[in-house]
Structure 1
Amino acid sequence: MTLGYLLGGGVGTEPHGLELYREYQVMRSLYAQVSDWTGLTVGQILEEELPEAQEERQSAGTVREAALAVAVHDILAELGLRPAAVGGLSLGAMTASCLAGAVGRQELFEMLAHARHAPQPPADAAPQGIALAFVPADGAAGPGEERPGVHRAGDFGPTADGSQRILMLAGLSEALSQLAAAAAPGTVVPLPGRTIAVHSPLRRAFRDFMAPRIDAMAFSAPEIPLLSCLELKELNSADDVRELFQRNSTDPISLVDVYTGLRRQGVGLGLVMGPSIPEGILDFPFPVVHIDQPEHIQQALTTAYELGIDFSATRAPL
């Protein structure tokens, strides 16, 4: 069995990693670099209130989330833990590409910072949002996917108790609210404060804005197995990774594809970088340790050795 790293999606609007930052010099050094690359102060990256404007807030939040994930990787690397395979959701997929050596750190963070210049939605644009849908564990379709203005944006897979499957819906806020009102109570839950219909066709303008920047980036073939979140696939070439970056904002994502791919790579323990994948809610095909506090570092080390993880296969780049 080998070690795999899982990186969640979402945007890090809330401060996380403060205790890790105080304890580990390698994290403080990384945040100083990220500050230089992005123009954000260390305080903004770590814990300060994010900008109000939608695309500026989204951009700064992605920098915050990616910086924490890379920092956890670096802390573990200093202690001798490196993954044999990596994968992630959404932003996590792009950060995982960096950890796999397929794109440089500076290029990744400069790209995330560049997104703050994306045009803001017009003042008269219909508000957008996202919602979670809870469906039977054996169900393939989510509620309301035929409803205009609603798109299936993600599949997080079965819950830990096996009773339900969690899907993400994205679309127009009004359509999502109407769907929630028509569905059984608790079946569709719009998420407050989420104003971007991520991983749906409604993000096409953002994708088009980012396309020239991504086209200009230098990608290379991953140095370790890198699993896609857009389909059940290992990304083997620079073109594969570039396509992931281009499609990420508009195409639906699947955590199931990521962890199934990791399992096929022989992963027997998954370390979740940061808090973006909730702990204890989802079912995984292997044990996982979530890391966003200093005590979790020792837990990861202990669990890896207790499970007899084979570190001879780990060849992840720094």
Structure 2
Amino acid sequence: MTLAYILGGGISPASESGLELHEQYPVVQNCYRELSEHTGLTVAQILSEPLPEEPGPRRGVGAVRQAAVALGIADLLAELDVRPGAVGGLSLGGMVGSCLAGSIERRELARYLMHTGEAPQVVPGAPAEGIAIAFVPTDRDPAGYHEPAVPDVHLASDFGPSVDGGARMLMLSGLRAGLERVAAEAPPGTVAVLDQYRIALHTPLRQAARDFLEPWIAAMPLRDPVLPLSSCLEQRTLGTAEEVRDLFRRNTTDPVHLLHVCAEMKRQGVRLGLVLGPSIPSGVVDFPFPVVHIETPEHVGQALAAIYELGIEIAPATSEIAPATSEITPATPEITPATPGRTAR
């Protein structure tokens, strides 16, 4: 096993995400049309129009937009005879990864992502919630940034060491007052409370949303993955439909760690990772193997070059997870020198 697809967590993707790929490749256009049919959204709503102002619909449509970018890139790579030997992702990326691994059909995934926008967001009158990104210096204990050391602040995600090796990247989630207290006590510029997020993602504070989604998740038609699917909840590979269902179920309230995904992929023998879409910023996280981030047509060429230069073996085609097809074959991008991410020591 050598090539893996890695997918990031839910963000509010910019309207230009995937725009160049959509303009250039019919197979990507086909992916967006397919998701439009599954969700009732127009292609423009998925691709480029401003996201809804209301928090719930914004999350639902934003999740579909991010999934569309990743699925469109996967379809384009499949047209170029590139297929992964393993997949895995963080939060929303784990669910999209489940689709790429053959555990859930695109229609069911798209419908579920829209349904998440109907889940309870905030409780009227309750203390304000939020999330923060923290770069914890290596001479500090990350445990001092969240519970039990800091009340009302939870560790929502551990991304692992930064590229420069000087810090560990965490996502903190909980009550906004607690997050602001952590930011005030940390070294200047190392903790940022994100104003655009008003809910405590991946914490017990999201139990009402988990309860709301539970009947839908229980009824979703899932099957065993046909590719190794790395979990973001623990360092393990998910091999059954019920294990994937558990991922969907716990994703709302439990911490999710990119560190688990990458460590499991490294254990599996992954030698190159392709990060699909913009949800994991390039040049920030230190992966344990080379990576290429794909957001534009130029990046596709870099990925192809990295596969060639590293002598990566491509997994055989699997009909059970065949991507959406287009009658028109897209132009093959020019291969430019690869710039894979740093390999960890």
Aligned to 2:325: none
Alignment of 1:43-192 (within 5 A): 43-137=44-138, 139-145=141-147, 146-192=149-195
User: Which of residues 295, 298, 310 in structure 2 aligns to 1:307?
Assistant: 310
Structure 2: distance between partners of 1:120 and 1:79: 41
Shift of 1:296: 0.8
1:317 is aligned to 2:321 = yes
Q: State which drifts further: 184-193 or 44-53.
A: 184-193
- Partner Cα separation in structure 1 for residue 273 and residue 3 of structure 2: 6
2:299 is the alignment partner of 1:296 = yes
Aligned to 1:20: 21
SS in 2 for 1:311: coil
In 1, distance between residues paired with 2:13 and 2:4?
A: 26
Q: Specify the code of the residue in structure 2 equivalent to 1:296.
A: H
CA pair 313-263 structure 1, distance change in 2 beyond 3 A? farther
Contact kept? 1:142, 1:152, Cα under 8 Å: no
Deviations 1:98-135 (A, max 9, x none): 00001111000000011222234233222211011222
- Where does the alignment leave 5 or more consecutive residues of structure 1 unmatched? none
Please state how far the C-alpha of 1:183 moved relative to its aligned partner.
2.5
| Conserved 8 A contact 1:8-1:91 | yes
Structure-2 separation of matches of 1:76 and 1:84: 13
Structure 2 contact 144–150 (Cα < 8 Å) conserved: no
CA distance in 2, matches of 1:95, 1:118: 19
Indicate how the Cα distance of structure 1 residues 225 and 120 shifts in structure 2: closer, same or farther if over 3 A, else same. Answer: closer
1:281 shift after superposition: 1.0
2:95 alignment partner AA: M
Distance 1:79 1:171 in 2: 43
Pick closer, same or farther for the CA change 1:287–1:120 going to 2, 3 Å.
closer
Q: Is the 8 A contact 1:135 1:142 kept in 2?
A: no
Give the 3 Å change call, closer, same or farther, for CA 59–261 of structure 1 in structure 2. same
Select which of 194, 199, 202 maps to 1:196: 199
C-alpha contact (below 8 Å) 2:122/2:199 kept by paired residues: no
**Does the residue aligned with 2:271 lie in a helix, a strand or coil?**
strand
- Alignment identity in percent? 53
CA distance in 1, matches of 2:103, 2:6: 16
CA–CA distance in structure 2, aligned partners of residues 4 and 256 of structure 1: 15
1:211 aligns with 2:214: yes
Distance 1:66 1:303 in 2: 24
Deviation at 1:40, TM superposition (A): 1.3
Which residue in the other structure is 1:11 paired with?
A: 11
Which one-letter code corresponds to 2:143 in the other structure? A
Task: Give unpaired runs (5+ residues) of structure 2.
Answer: 323-345
CA-based RMSD: 1.5
Describe the SS at the equivalent of 1:4: strand
- How far apart are residue 13 of structure 1 and its match? 3.3
SS in 1 for 2:238: coil
Q: Does 248-257 or 115-124 show the bigger shift?
A: 115-124
1:253 is paired with a residue whose SS is coil
TM-score, with length taken from structure 1: 0.96
Quote the residue 1:237 is aligned against.
240
Structure-2-length-normalised TM-score: 0.89
1:221 aligns with 2:224: yes
- Contact 1:35/1:42 (<8 A) preserved: yes
Give the counterpart of 2:252 among 249, 252, 258: 249
Structure 2 match to 1:275: 278
Separation (CA, whole Å) in 2 of partners of 1:73 and 1:13: 18
Cα pair 1:214 1:242 within 8 Å, conserved = yes
Residues 2 and 313, structure 1, Cα contact 8 Å, conserved in 2: no
Q: Give the match's secondary structure for 1:87.
A: strand
